[in-house]
Copies of this chain bind each other. A is one copy, B any other.
Amino acid sequence: MATNITFHPGSVNIEERVDLLQQRGITIWLTGLSASGKSTIACALEQHLLHQHRFTYRLDGDNVRFGLNKDLGFDEKSRNENIRRIGEISRLFTDAACITLTAFISPYRADRALARKIHEEAGLNFIEVFVDAPLEVVEQRDPKGLYRKARAGEIQEFTGISAPYEPPLNAELHIKTADCEVKEAVQMITDYLLEKGYITAGHG
């Protein structure tokens, strides 16, 4: 029965993969303060795209920090390496034609620029989404009590309190979560993807 298998030598290139899977990869990099809404938006967006039968995956602290990056601490060098690796993994997923969502604070412009560069050098799509909520709002939300602990000095180098957050200067999308619902944020992102041709309507 082996005769029904035919193939050409070498690997499948990006365009061939896109054509076969009817989907192009893109990394959607969410950045923002803790409790700004990154994970909530990423979860909802992932669900929405999966229900359209689009191959989608979300990278976040739960599946990366406790796996691939469990050897890393929280000092500055480790935090940079954490983001570099996430940039590299998201490149692989996007190369695989996946819609790849990353939800990490990623407070430094240089780290996010590196993640973008890793994609662009490989000819892959990357957009940055600034999930923006004022510090007073996220401190009010504080679902895990982290801001309270940071204010009390129980957590060191906490982004927004005792470590800087560098807001994006050129994010493709800017979502102010104090002023919109999750479903509106999801709609903003999917509208953008459709408008720019990163995804096509009528999938699924």
Binding site for B on A (CB under 8 A): 1-3, 5-12, 16-17, 20-22, 43-44, 46-48, 50-51, 53, 55, 57-59, 63-64, 67-68, 71, 81, 85, 88-89, 91-93, 95-98, 118, 181, 183-184, 186-187, 190-191
Contact = CB atoms under 8 A, between A and B. Distances in A.
A46 B11 contact: yes
A8 B47 contact: yes
Contacts of A190: 5
Given A183-B2, A187-B2, A46 B92 contact: no
Given A21-B50, A183-B2, A187-B1, A55 B92 contact: no
A93 B96 contact: yes
Nearest to A40: B9
A47 B5 CA distance: 10
A93 B91 contact: no
Given A43-B11, A58-B11, A118-B67, A48 B5 contact: yes
State the majority secondary structure of interface residues on A. helix
29 contacts: A1-B191, A2-B181, A2-B183, A2-B184, A2-B187, A3-B183, A5-B183, A5-B186, A5-B187, A7-B43, A7-B44, A7-B48, A7-B51, A7-B186, A9-B43, A12-B50, A16-B50, A20-B50, A21-B55, A22-B53, A55-B97, A57-B96, A59-B92, A63-B92, A68-B92, A71-B81, A89-B89, A92-B93, A98-B98
A93 B64 CA distance: 12
A67 B91 contact: yes
B95 A92 contact: no
B12 A47 contact: yes
